[in-house]
Amino acid sequence: MKLLFIFGPNLNLLGEREIEIYGGMSFAELTKLITEEAHREGVEVEIFQSNHEGEIIDCIHQKRKEIDGIVINPGAYTHYSIAIRDALKAVALPTLEVHLSNVHAREEFRHHSVIAPVCWGQITGLGAWGYLLAIRAFLLARGKS
Ligand code: DQA
């Protein structure tokens, strides 16, 4: 099984950005945690981060035939990118939306996701664990765990 992890804008600044909300783990540390957990479970991972909507869409298009599922944290694009939503709908792969913070406990504009309706599920507010749970969910769906 191969999963594509997509990180949207500003997530490259994890560890220095709003630490009280996102925690002190850097982006490099988070991706290491994801990669190590995935490999322990025999899952291949590809990790992509971009601050640009079009690059995220290109990545979804380019990788669509090589992967079994997507784990996406679209960052602020969560709340308004119809284009990323359409790309996910178009490739029709099982997708989990993950947020480090609990978007429902924050500003009103973060309560709505335009991405969630085209996803298999959403994990929000569990920090880095959300990514580990996303891997677990794909394994459970495959009947491997
Ligand atoms: C986020 C929540 C979004 O509202 C925000 O714009 C982000 C990060 C999260 O992981 O909690 O950039 O997706």
90-105 confidence digits (pLDDT tens):
999 999 999 999 999 9
Q: Does the beta carbon of 31 sit less than 6 angstroms from any atom of ligand 1?
A: no
Report the alpha-carbon distance of residue 35 to residue 10 in Å, rounded. 20
| Residue 64 CA, ligand 1 centroid: distance in Å | 24
Of all residues in the chain, the percent with pLDDT exceeding 90 is: 98
Report the alpha-carbon distance of residue 130 to residue 144 in Å, rounded. 19
Looking at the DSSP assignment, which residues form a beta bridge with residue 48?
6
17-61 confidence digits (pLDDT tens):
999 999 999 999 999 999 999 999 999 999 999 999 999 999 999
Q: What is the pLDDT at residue 145?
A: 54
Q: Does the beta carbon of 122 sit less than 6 angstroms from any atom of ligand 1?
A: no
Protein residue with least CA distance to atom 12, ligand 1:
75
Looking at the DSSP assignment, which residues form a beta bridge with residue 37?
none
| Residue 54 CA, ligand 1 centroid: distance in Å | 18
Q: Does the beta carbon of 10 sit less than 6 angstroms from any atom of ligand 1?
A: yes
Protein residue with least CA distance to atom 7, ligand 1:
75
| Residue 76 CA, ligand 1 centroid: distance in Å | 6
- The CATH number of 2-141, from 1.10.645.10, 3.30.70.100, 3.40.366.10, 3.40.50.9100, is 3.40.50.9100
Query: Given the structure tokens 């459970």, which residue do they identify?
Result: 140
The token pair at 47 is 């990790």
Whether the Cβ atoms of residue 94 and residue 120 lie closer than 8 Å to each other: yes
Whether pTM exceeds 0.75: yes
Q: Does the beta carbon of 130 sit less than 6 angstroms from any atom of ligand 1?
A: no
Instruction: Write down the domain spans for the chain.
Output: 2-141
Beta strands in the chain (DSSP E): 2-7, 44-49, 69-73, 95-99, 121-124
The angle subtended at Cα 96 by Cα 129 and Cα 128, nearest 5°, is 15
3 dihedral zone (left: phi>0; alpha: psi -120 to 50; beta): beta
